[in-house]
Amino acid sequence: MQETRAAITGIGAYLPSYRLTNEEISTMVDTTDEWIMQRIGIKERRILKEKGKATSDMGTEAVKQLLEKTNTRPDEIELLICATITPDRPFPATANIISRKARLTNAWSYDISAACSGFVFALTTAAKFIESGQYKKVIVVGADMMSAITDYTDRSTCPLFGDGASAVLLEPTTEDVGIIDHMNHTDGKGRHYLHVKAGGSKIPTTPETLQQRMQYVHQDGQTVFKYAVSRMADVAVDIMKKHDITPDKLAWLVPHQANMRIIDAVARRMKISREQVMINIENYGNTTAATIPLCLYDYENQLKKGDNVILAAFGAGFTWGSMYLKWAYDTNK
State the catalytic residues. 116, 256, 286
DSSP string, 270-305: HT--GGGB---HHHH-B-GGGHHHHHHHHTGGG--T
Q: Which helix (H) or strand (E) holds 183?
A: strand 178-186
CB-based contact 317:185 (threshold 8 Å): no
Longest Cα–Cα distance of the chain, Å, equals 62
φ/ψ region of 98 (left if φ > 0, alpha if ψ in -120 to 50, else beta) reads alpha
Residues in the chain: 333
Relative orientation angle of helices 118-131 and 291-298, to the nearest 10 degrees: 80
For the beta carbon of residue 105, count every other beta carbon within 10 angstroms. Answer: 11
Amino acid at 156: S
- From the list 208, 304, 314, the residue with the least C-alpha distance to 266 is 314
φ/ψ region of 115 (left if φ > 0, alpha if ψ in -120 to 50, else beta) reads left
Q: Which helix (H) or strand (E) holds 69?
A: helix 55-69
